[in-house]
Amino acid sequence: MSNKPLKAFDYINDINFGKKNLMVDDDAEKVYVSFLTNRGLSYFQDTALLANEMNLNHHIDSKLQYDFLRNIVRPRKRFSKWAKAETLDKVDVIAEYYDYSRAKAASVADLIDDDTLDSMKKYLSKGGKR
């Protein structure tokens, strides 16, 4: 093993296709974040149920969770982009204009056309350089 410090994503890569035991001491165990590992594995059909099983058994030690996943997941290259919350300008304008929550604004965003949205932006404009 190299002298390079471990990152949380190193464990996901090792579970997916490395199959080396990265958790050799207490310092390496502290780097393991079960939430990130389970989230990274939940994007794929063949590992989603295993990630869910580890979420249900979150009380188990990190080493045991890692060993379970490392030994039961079949080696395969799995790459995906992490889902991130999209910042929708339309939803923000609707939420501010009607004093709605973002969830409620997102649910009514399809009902508002572009002309109405432009007039709402003009009304909410506070001046400045924009």
Is 80 contained in some domain?
no
Domain region containing 42: 8-72
Q: Give the pLDDT confidence score for residue 88 in this predicted structure.
A: 52
Query: Is 108 in the same domain as 65?
Result: no
% the chain with pLDDT above 70 = 92
Is 79 contained in some domain?
no
Query: Is 54 in the same domain as 108?
Result: no
Query: Is 62 in the same domain as 23?
Result: yes
**pLDDT for 17 beyond 80:** yes
**pLDDT for 62 beyond 80:** yes
Average pLDDT over residues 16-44: 90
Query: Is 53 in the same domain as 108?
Result: no
Residue 58 CA to residue 118 CA, distance in Å, equals 48
Residue 35's pLDDT band, with cuts at 50, 70 and 90, is: very high
| Mean per-residue pLDDT over the chain, rounded | 87
pLDDT tens per residue, range 64-84? 999 999 999 999 988 877 776
Is 130 contained in some domain?
no
Average pLDDT over residues 84-111: 85
Residue 104 structure tokens:
């409620």
3-state secondary structure 72-96: HCCCCCCCCCCCCCCCCHHHHHHHH
Residue 56 structure tokens:
């249900």
